Structure 1
Amino acid sequence: MEGRNMEFEPVESSFFLMPTLQLAEELLGKILVKETAEGTAAGIIVETEAYIGPGDRAAHSFNNRRTARTEVMFGPAGYAYTYVMHTHCLVNVVSGEKDAPEAVLIRAVEPVTGKELMKKRRPGAKRNQDLTNGPGKLTKALGITMADYGHPLWESPLYIAEGIRPHGISAGPRIGIDNSGEAVEYPWRFRVSGNPYISGTKKNNQS
């Protein structure tokens, strides 16, 4: 395992102590970093989705549903909530207070370090944008796995690093939650306006 890449400065653990919707916006422009024996891969976070259980029918923790998968969501903010959907591993940032199971899904990143490593991990990507323009794509490209479940996201090897806040942020309904009642309309998807790495509309989100 390599040591921490000094190119990136991890956020403090206190960064995550804010309301979930605010965190979903504040994560935009931050850098998601994963260090492995193969090298370091990192990308600017350009798209997120907030999930505010237990009142959010699109969230895994709706109705305070507590399972082995969602257990980390009931803990303190700032830890990685990873899970597998349709064979893809997805990564969320746990948010909210303890016993308030909320999270922010990282939907897309723009590569900044380790692009060749990302191409090696995702040989089917035809364009640079295809490397990380979706929640399952970015975890594969960065080397994020289920082994990262419960990891504190201010410590190596998987962490959120300081970045530059984007000038324009857009908000709208989340993707792929058609069976979630009124939650379909909640404008809890945030993205860097006009960024080419924004994800598409496939049903690869949290619910």
Structure 2
Amino acid sequence: MDLFADRVEAGELLAERLLDAHDPVILALPRGGVEVAVPIACRLDAVLDVLVTRKIGYPPAPELGVGAIAEGGEPVFDMGLLHRLGLTPESVAEVVAQERRELARRVRVYRGDRPLPALDGREVIVVDDGLATGGTARAALRAVATARPAKVTLAVPVGARETVRSLQKEADEVVVLKTPVDFRAVGQWYVHFDQLTDADVLHLLGKD
């Protein structure tokens, strides 16, 4: 299966699958989702903003996500994983509090005091650079749903098949270009997959 050259190419290809959207609001998940979303917003002549999310990590191994939280939403946990680890939502409350603080910091960095665009009655397209476990995307979609949009689309260049399937009940539509059988990590499907900084995100949003 061919690789995407980079997130920009992936966004350009994804935009071609979203041309039927009617005056949408594009919400990108920082950091990588922003680079994918910029060419989509340009192609659709749409409002672009960020929706900040944070993974909730397993305390002894923070890279293992047991849940996620998005601005405007409540924590969303992988209850099966929590159970297997002998944890409850209450037992990771300190981690959730830490991630809420970091989420608030990033919102201030990316948006300052400006609120999210009004989503009530609008079409919303949530964009990320790929889906592995889908934890942050699920938290983002549930947070967006509380704002009563007319339609919510999740758009990603590549995703694990089971994750894509599980997220179809969280959005009105899921648009994904590749669902490879041998999916191991998002980055393996890009030739160039540089890690982005807060400064990169502000530059992409035209706020540097």
TM, length-normalised to structure 1:
0.25
Which structure features the higher share of helix residues? 2
TM, length-normalised to structure 2:
0.25
